[in-house]
Amino acid sequence: MISSFYKEESREICMLMNILGYSQKQREARVEAYSLTAIHQCNDKEDCIGTGSKIEGVAGRLESDFDVMYVPTNVICIESGTVDAKEFSSKTILRIDTAYSAQAYCRLKKEIVRAHCPEAIVKSLTPDGHGNDLLSSDLYYEHTKRDAQIAGGVFKPRSGPACPVTDGTLDYDYVHALRCHIPSLLRQWAERYRLWPPDNIVQMIESMGGFVTPVGFKESTFTHLEWRICFSSGETELMHNLNDTQLKLYVLLKMIVKHVLNPQKKEITSYMVKNLILHLAENNEQKLFHEQNLLHWLKAALSKLKTAISDKRLSSYMIPMRNLMACSRLEASQQRTWIKTIKDMISEGPRIILRLQKLRTAIICFGEPLLWYTKLKLELELLELYFCRRLFELEYENSSKESDTVIREILRRKNEILRDVQRCLRNEGSRRECWNDLHKIAKSMLD
């Protein structure tokens, strides 16, 4: 039974999260802007697909990396024994072989290479000694890495299948993946018992297919030849079908993992949190998730996280046989510390929110100034997104940004917002030197 105290606290937390940029309207605006940004990078040879927190609408401009998958349009990986290659007569075809790999991993065997096959694939084929050519994930990563370069960007160390690049302000994770047709795994997911999502969404996701990304199972002897199977587009669609409270729960749990548990070696990741939330949503009726019981579900999610840490096991939502913590670097001492921390948080009830700096500051500063500031902050974030989108449009049109009226109006409004904030801070007697620099004010507002 949820106490009236918890209900009131839950409502207040939902209201604060709306003010801080996590309302449904704000999320939808982000989704639209980032989706259009990704679409404008597509071309005849390659699809560009946004993934991760930004495309889900739960991360601001500088809150997380911008995750993007680039997928060649003329290549398909197909499941052995269930898919006929004749269905894909115009594409380069690779066969998926899961016989010698861990769950959710595979090798790719060359079957048909067409005339317009991407050069990176041709250069990454490796003989296996048994008359087959396998596509090396490591070689493919290296051959496509150069495509991730951005003007003035700097490469960071490899992160799984992703090539991280930073331009000094924004961080990008580029993944060069291949589309795959593997109906058996999607059918297993679609046919299992569930309370969510509804049948029409299940059918849509089943039709989307999946991808293979260039990273092998860490403990495999042949990790350099293996690829990870994933269903990124389907997972994004699932996140878009969570209700407002479920998405706020996801944001809160991510904050707790990042700022309270503070993993240093990716022992727990945002992707693990996402899978935990999806499991929780599937096994409970969606109508049970509402703003009056946010704290109740946060307690339930923390309990599941504690169990996952204790067992070192968290099943992938789309492929339950895959343990997302199989190769976790979680040490016994850290495991005990985190379990104790989570137990303490569960017992704290509503006071758990005070552990999160962003929400604690909002509680202290709640009032008209906060509403004014966050409204401008969201507008500035959206202007930044529209600015980037417009640059892609102008590049496609081969037009100059200097003479573009849309660009000029965006820049005019951005400067107006920044000067309003600067003037307010000076009136309040702020002594921080950075307030004299509009660029630093913008970074502070978007961070």
Minimum mean pLDDT among 22-36, 206-220, 327-341: which range? 22-36
- Residue 89: what pLDDT? 82
- Residue 438: what pLDDT? 63
Residue range 239-263, pLDDT digits in tens: 999 999 999 999 999 999 999 999 9
Mean pLDDT: which of 350-359, 360-369, 392-401 is highest?
350-359
Q: pLDDT band at 363, cuts 50/70/90?
A: confident
Q: Are 162 and 150 in contact (CB under 8 A)?
A: no
Q: Are 442 and 380 in contact (CB under 8 A)?
A: yes
Measured CA to CA in angstroms, residue 93 lies from 80, 107, 112 at distances of 11, 13, 5
Mean pLDDT of 262-284: 96
Mean pLDDT of 11-24: 90
pLDDT tops 70 at residue 433: no
- Residue 429: what pLDDT? 62
pLDDT tops 60 at residue 410: yes
What is d(CA 187, CA 206) in angstroms, rounded to the nearest whole number?
A: 7
What is d(CA 275, CA 41) in angstroms, rounded to the nearest whole number?
A: 28
Torsion angle of the four alpha carbons 421, 426, 427, 430, in this order, in degrees rounded to the nearest 10? 110
Mean pLDDT: which of 37-41, 279-283, 370-374, 397-401 is highest?
279-283
Minimum mean pLDDT among 160-174, 250-264, 305-319, 343-357: which range? 160-174
Minimum mean pLDDT among 128-142, 343-357, 359-373: which range? 359-373
Task: Pick the more confident residue, 220 or 366.
Answer: 220
Q: Are 83 and 74 in contact (CB under 8 A)?
A: no
Mean pLDDT of 88-105: 92
DSSP state, 51? Answer: E
Express as a percent the part of the chain with pLDDT over 70: 92
- Mean pLDDT score across all residues of the chain: 89
**Rg from Cα positions in the chain:** 23
Mapped onto helix, strand or coil, the DSSP state of residue 16 is helix
Number of H helices, E strands in the chain: 16, 13
- Residue 41: what pLDDT? 77
Mapped onto helix, strand or coil, the DSSP state of residue 167 is coil
Residue range 337-349, pLDDT digits in tens: 999 999 999 999 8
Minimum mean pLDDT among 33-37, 288-292, 319-323, 368-372: which range? 368-372
- Residue 250: what pLDDT? 98
Task: Pick the more confident residue, 402 or 305.
Answer: 305
**Strands in 177-284 per DSSP E:** 178-181, 210-213, 226-230
Mean pLDDT of 422-444: 65
What is d(CA 253, CA 279) in angstroms, rounded to the nearest whole number?
A: 14
- Residue 444: what pLDDT? 66
